[in-house]
């Protein structure tokens, strides 16, 4: 299986990982050679996943080619709806409260990289959000509402 990391600018990703190829998004979209490997795993790390952006089309084309993209195109569409994100994550309230209890500010951004955060105390919450939203790079924005509770918004 060929592993492709698709990015906007490969110069920003000087990776040397055996078996992994860093590919410019435009090349992945336009070079038919990338469509030959039916078993490719595509990690879409483009700067944005907005509708009709390069990142959106990378995931869409990867699925059409039979590749296994992360994130999938339907995940990108789901993440555009904050109501749907809130619905998907509403059962995480207890985990959110536990993970964010030490935070004193009214707003907090949690950066999630392949289901992990640099602070181990946010590990369980990061894994759960990754499992629900299936995007390699996530930023979950939390805002304290009133005396208790939080809302979540996810984006790239």
Residue 59 shares a structural domain with residue 125: no
Q: From the CA atom positions of the chain, what is the Rg in Å? A: 17
pLDDT mean across residues, the chain: 86
pLDDT > 90 in the chain, percent: 50
64, two tokens: 């059409």
Residue 70 shares a structural domain with residue 95: no
Burial letters for 117-149: b for 16+ Cβ neighbours within 10 Å, e otherwise?
A: beeeebeebbbbbbebbbbbbbebebebeeeee
d(CA 44, CA 56): 9
Q: How many folded domains does the chain comprise?
A: 2
Domain boundary among 49, 77, 105: 77
Q: Are 68 and 36 in contact (CB under 8 A)?
A: no
Average pLDDT score over residue span 134-146: 82
Q: Are 10 and 20 in contact (CB under 8 A)?
A: no
Q: Are 107 and 143 in contact (CB under 8 A)?
A: yes
145, two tokens: 């509402």
The residue among 13, 63, 69, 7 whose CA lies nearest residue 42 is 69
What is the model's pLDDT at position 121?
93
Q: Are 107 and 136 in contact (CB under 8 A)?
A: no
Comparing 39 with 27, which gets the higher pLDDT? Answer: 27
Residue 92 shares a structural domain with residue 151: yes
Evaluate if residue 155 carries a pLDDT over 80. no
What is the model's pLDDT at position 138?
87
What is the model's pLDDT at position 154?
45
Evaluate if residue 136 carries a pLDDT over 70. yes
Residue 89 shares a structural domain with residue 147: yes
Residue 59, helix vs strand vs coil: helix
pLDDT in tens, 77-132: 887 777 777 777 788 888 988 898 899 898 899 999 999 999 999 999 999 999 98
- pTM score, two decimals? 0.81
Q: Could you list the residue range(s) of the whole structural domain that residue 31 is in? A: 3-77
What CATH number should be reported for the domain holding residue 34?
3.40.250
Cα angle for residues 67, 71, 73 (degrees, 5° grid): 80
Cα–Cα distances in Å, from 53 out to 3, 46, 56, 62? 22, 9, 5, 14
Average pLDDT score over residue span 46-56: 89
């Amino acid at each position: 299986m060929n592993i492709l990391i698709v990015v906007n600018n490969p110069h920003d990703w000087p990776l040397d990982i055996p078996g992994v190829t860093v590919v410019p998004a435009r090349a992945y979209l336009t070079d038919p050679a990338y469509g030959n490997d039916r078993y490719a795993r595509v990690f879409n790390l483009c700067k944005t996943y907005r509708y009709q952006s390069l990142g959106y089309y990378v995931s869409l084309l990867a699925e059409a080619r039979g590749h296994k993209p992360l994130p999938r195109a339907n995940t990108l569409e789901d993440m555009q709806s904050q109501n749907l994100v809130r619905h998907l994550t509403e059962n995480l309230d207890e985990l959110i409260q536990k993970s964010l209890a030490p935070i004193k500010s009214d707003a907090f951004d949690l950066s999630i990289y392949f289901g992990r955060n640099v602070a181990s105390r946010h590990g369980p919450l990061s894994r759960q959000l990754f499992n629900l939203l299936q995007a390699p790079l996530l930023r979950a924005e939390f805002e304290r509402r009133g005396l208790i509770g939080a809302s979540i918004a996810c984006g790239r």
